[in-house]
Amino acid sequence: MIGSVDARLRPLLRIEQVQGQQGILAVVNTGFNGELMLSRNVAAEFGMTEREGYSTVTLAGGQTHIVRRGYGTISWFARPRRIEVLIHVEDLPARLRDQDEPVGLVGTGLLYPHMLAIDFAARTLEVRQHA
């Protein structure tokens, strides 16, 4: 899978839906050990299902967020993969929901057991399957 590094030096990867509809752009964050984190409205648009109950998570910067756990299926290496998603209870403002602006976080839970290579100088990102 090929991603990129943007002008703000964020490593980005496009996550695709199984149905082949438009994907979402997400920041790869190796400090996040979950699979995928999205805002509530983006998760709903992406076909994710919320579970009951709330959890509290603390991000690397020390911010605490209230999230719901959910699940859904994405296309991962051209195959369906069922994942757990953390869903922010706050919606992402419409002004930030641009095609070229990331709307989620990809964590190590989704990347494992693959190899992640980021070349900041060349502005490239690659996730490779292990044989």
- In three-state form (DSSP H/G/I as H, E/B as E, the rest C), the secondary structure along the chain is CEEEECCCCCEEEEEEECCCCCCEEEEECCCCCCCEEEEHHHHHHCCCEECCCCEEEECCCCCEEEEEEEEEEEEECCEEEEEEEEEECCCCCHHHCCCCCCCEEECHHHHCCCEEEEECCCCEEEEECCC
CB hemisphere CA count around 59 (13 angstroms) = 12
Q: Residue 65's closest CA among 40, 48, 83, 90?
A: 90
What does the pLDDT read at residue 68? 93
What structural domains does the chain harbor?
Answer: 2-128 (2.40.70.10)
Residues 6, 95: Cα–Cα separation, whole Å? 19
What does the pLDDT read at residue 54? 87
Distance from the first to the final alpha carbon of the chain: 15
Q: pLDDT digit of tens for each residue in the chain (131 aa)?
A: 999 999 999 999 999 988 766 789 999 999 888 999 998 888 988 889 999 888 888 777 788 888 999 999 999 999 999 999 999 887 666 655 556 788 899 999 999 999 999 999 999 999 999 86
What does the pLDDT read at residue 98? 58
What does the pLDDT read at residue 14? 94
Residues 90, 65: Cα–Cα separation, whole Å? 9
Q: What is the model's pTM?
A: 0.88
What does the pLDDT read at residue 131? 67
- Give the tokens for residue 129: 């399957």
